[in-house]
Amino acid sequence: MITRKLIFISLLLTVAFSGAKVGTSIFRWAEIETGTRAIGMAGSQVASGNDISALPYNPASICFINKNEIFSSSSNYLAGTKHYTMAYGTKVSSSDFVGFHLFIFDSGDMPEAVAIEGQESLTGKMFKFQGLAARLSYGRQMTDRLNLGATFKVLNESVTSGDLSMTGIGFDIGSNFDTGIYGMTLGMCISNFGPEARYMGDGLDVPADDEGESQDEQKKTEYHPMPLTFRVGLEKAILENDMHNFTISADAINPLDYDLYGTMGAEYSWNNLAFVRLGYHLGHDTAGLSVGGGIDYQNFTIDFATSFYDILENHTQFGLGYKF
């Protein structure tokens, strides 16, 4: 059973990650840009990430938490899909940090269809494609210039009609280093180390034969690799004083099954109260400009961001945070 919309969503998730290569990795939805600050800066966060929302880009970002921090966001993504984020991080000692990050992807209701003699016919039923990524992260300040972090993650995706699901595990390792050279910070992260996974479930049962007898077996699906990705980035503070701060950042992203592409971002803050962000994707098939902004008042943050796609819908996200 399959629908045009499910195919369309699969294509969108492939196109949205750029590159001329054909994607062969699984859990591609887990690599969607998330975090309102990150989206406003086109995802250039591997060196620039400084809060709990940046964990998917670099687990070492957790080392910038002052004490406790929570974050949540909601986003209207492509083709009527949505995704949600919830995260919490805490400083457990003078140099140790722990955080949890939950990402949920939801396709929304889609009409189910079956192929009969080459023709698509609606069944009248609805189904959803859903994905969940749960991350547990640990970070440590090794020195006043070097931070290290690691993440263990569990990923699951399922199709509600047909009882199909796939579960995998992965690891991220990242660093954040103040180079001491022209005020630049270097960030690096290797994400999604983990074993291959495949779809399983009752939806793979072989139909009964012509005599109505159960075959008592399942179709076999192929194993596919995790979306192993290497990121490296730089951040530099151009202006830094009590009233005005302006930073720029740039990342290079090299996924296992896509071409190398890049992102550039900038953030201006006034009095550490109001923020304006700008970003651009380089070498990306569809994504281009990103914009965003936010307010940080008495430890509460309210942020928004929008990414503009050449041929697809715009991607808008709103986020809320609290530091305590």
Q: Tell me the per-residue pLDDT of 86-120, one tens digit each, with 9 for 90 and over.
A: 999 999 999 999 999 999 998 877 776 666 666 66
Q: What is the mean pLDDT of residues 207-229?
A: 66
Q: What is the pLDDT of residue 216?
A: 53
Closest CA to 3 of 146, 162, 138: 162
| 254: nearest Cα among 192, 212, 310 | 192
Among 50-59, 128-137, 208-217, the least confident range: 208-217
Decide: 161 and 112 in contact? Cβ < 8 Å.
yes
Q: Which residues contact 206 (CB under 8 A, 6 or more apart)?
A: 215, 217, 218, 219
Is-contact 236 182, C-beta < 8 A?
Answer: yes
- Tens digit of pLDDT for each residue in 50-70? 999 999 999 999 999 999 999
The pair of three-digit structure tokens given for residue 73, joined into one six-digit string? 């966001």
Query: How would residue 218 be classed by pLDDT, with cut points 50, 70 and 90?
Result: low
**Secondary structure letter of residue 216 according to DSSP:** -
| The residue type at 323 | K
Can you tell me the distance from the alpha carbon of 56 to that of 232, in angstroms, rounded to the nearest whole number? 14
Instruction: Give all domains of the chain, ordered by start, each with its CATH number.
Output: 4-193+231-323 (2.40.160.60)
129 and 52 in contact (C-beta within 8 Å)? no
Please check the confidence at residue 206 and state whether its pLDDT lies above 90. Answer: no
- Across residues 293-313, what is the average pLDDT? 89
Please compute the mean of the pLDDT values over residues 295-308 and round it to a whole number: 94
| Spatial contact of 130 and 167, defined as CB atoms under 8 Å apart | no
pLDDT tier, 7 (very low <50, low <70, confident <90, very high otherwise): very low
Q: What is the pLDDT of residue 9?
A: 47
The helix/strand/coil state of 48 is: coil
State yes or no: pLDDT of 313 exceeds 90.
Answer: no
Q: What is the pLDDT of residue 116?
A: 67
Higher pLDDT, 27 or 189: 189
pLDDT in the model for residue 33: 87
Between residues 215 and 300, which one has the greater pLDDT?
300
Of 102-106, 145-149, 300-304, 308-312, where does mean pLDDT reach its minimum?
A: 308-312
78 band by pLDDT with thresholds 50, 70 and 90: confident
Q: Do 53 and 35 contact (CB within 8 A), yes or no?
A: yes
Residue 166, helix vs strand vs coil: strand
* pLDDT score of 268 more than 70: yes
pLDDT confidence band for 12 (50 / 70 / 90): very low
Cα separation, 76 vs 282, in Å, equals 23
Question: By percentage, how much of the chain surpasses pLDDT 90?
Answer: 60
pLDDT-derived band at 15 (thresholds 50, 70, 90) equals: very low
pLDDT at 323 over 50: yes
User: What tokens appear for 116 in the block?
Assistant: 């009969």
Q: What is the pLDDT of residue 245?
A: 96
Q: What is the mean pLDDT of the chain?
A: 85
- Select from 317, 318, 319, 315 the least CA-distant residue to 80: 315
What pLDDT is stored for residue 19 in this prediction?
A: 44
Does position 8 have pLDDT exceeding 50, yes or no? Answer: no
pLDDT at 230 over 90: yes
Quote the pLDDT of residue 113.
67
Please write the tens of the pLDDT for every residue from 25-56: 788 888 888 899 999 999 999 999 999 999 99
